[in-house]
Amino acid sequence: MPRVEVLTELPALGEDDVLAVPVGSGSALPAWVTGPDAPVDAGLLAGALADTGNTGGPGNVTNLPVPGRRPRSVVAVGVGDATLPDLRGYVATAVRRAQTLAEHGARRLVLPLDDAAAPAGAEEVRLAVEAALLAGYRFRETSTPHPPRLQTVTVVAADGADPAVTAAARAGEVTGQAVAWARDLVNTPSNTKDPAWLAAQAVERLAGLPHVEVTVLGPEELRAGGFGGVLAVGGGSASPPRVVVASHRPPGAGPGHVVLVGKGITFDTGGISIKPTAGMREMKTDMAGGAAVLAAVDAAARLGLPVAVTAVVPAAENAVSGSAYRPADVVRHVGGRTTEVLNTDAEGRMVLADGLAWGRLELGATVLVDVATLTGAMKVALGTRTAGLYATTDGLADALRTAAGHAGEPVWRMPLAEEHADLLESTVADANNAPGNPGGTTAALFLRPFAGDLPWAHLDVAGPARAGSDDAEVVKGGTGFGARILLRWLEAGAPVDSSSVLDR
């Protein structure tokens, strides 16, 4: 990943530099382009914009080599009305262009944020730093050397020396690096990524952070703790399951304790209810919820947030063998609740149930949020860019929606409709694990009892956890979706009451 720095004015530009220019609606150019000391001829740039039809609309791009090569090239990107989504697109487009030029000698992208309308503030700088780190993210395992990459992104904002802007830049850097780590975890192939590997990665990254403790529960501890769902799902694999518990408990934290539970299925064959081949090809990403909650704790600790938060990641490989769990099995979860297995491919809810109950009964949670690539039904309902949000309280739902808006990770609240609860009935257990459609809602209803009376929210990220193509700072592959939502919510103090939700 490139190094990101923030300056208050344009640096001297050389032949290793790519200069980005934000173009507003109507081809409006920022003042620093039209002034006497402009680094590029305004007339030349205006002509290039006209010739390429770049009127400043979001998505408009003009690439312009510069005579004398100081800078070597300009990329002019439409920012429209300079909304935050427009700004993300501007930064991401400029970063990708600069990464291409880095393969031919460019080393630095100079990225001014102040546009023709107003100087950039703290939120814009934070967003730009995040997007600069994430838009250039790539995961490769090739036999040939990787092409040269961009070394530096220089964000230029007139108010860059303001303490609030400096703090925002730091938050953006920490967030971008945490999300990139989550993407690495998600993208790692499953012949490397088994439950033990995932646990080791969490220990390696998190255990040395201030006020962070990481515990890994192995098979013996899971049996002693009653993790019947995790043991059942992981029972068919040669790689035994784990549960990762990563807690950030700073001295100044209040009495509340946020517990984040993330689905950690390191590969999902479907088990005995086996998936077709096409359905398995993306299943290395089935632990994206676990990656998101670990990344949120990572960032919270690095930012020193005064919030007690714990990530619980039940990690298992859902495999097919003689020891795999079967349809018609009855599984007993943490706390004693039982589930009749109707479909072994409904495994995510089986492990989340244990994680939620453990957080409530053993960790002293005061609020629970789980994140999971849980149902194909959610992709049908909301597509591949929006997560489904279920919550037992309006305050918690509103707080997470507000956080999602700031994070640029869209969510849509879905109904916990009681009329479908009877679909979970079982004659031999407390519930069955495959109650049918509406699939996203019945999955949420299955999980709800394990949260007890605590405020609880469920993020079904089956769509946006993985991307088929680049879009703004999202890149093809694992996206790390959910980590930024959780972090923004934690930064706001993890509110659960409507009266404490601040649209900051």
So which residues are the catalytic ones?
Answer: 275, 349
Residue type for 360, please?
R
Tell me if 267 sits within 8 A of 286, measured CB to CB: yes
Query: d(Cα 344, Cα 434) in Å, to the nearest integer?
Result: 9
Contact 262, 292 (CB under 8 A): yes
End-to-end CA distance of the chain: 29
For residue 18, give both structure tokens: 């790519």
Nearest Cα to 454, choosing from 496, 402, 406?
Answer: 496
Q: Tokens 């382009």 — which residue? A: 33
User: What are the start-end ranges of the H helices in 188-271?
Assistant: 195-206, 219-225, 228-234
Between CA 192 and CA 200, with CA 197 as vertex, the angle to 5 degrees is 150
Distance CA 258, CA 312 (A): 11
Distance from C-alpha of 451 to C-alpha of 276, rounded to nearest angstrom: 33
The Cα-based distances of 132 to 87, 173, 297, 428, 477 in angstroms read: 11, 9, 22, 54, 17
What Rg, from alpha-carbon coordinates, does the chain have? 24
Residues in the chain, total: 504
Residues 10 and 179: beta-carbon distance below 8 Å? no
Beta bridge partners of 54: none
Bridge-based pairing of strands 466-467 and 73-80 is unpaired
Dist. CA 110–CA 91, nearest whole Å? 10
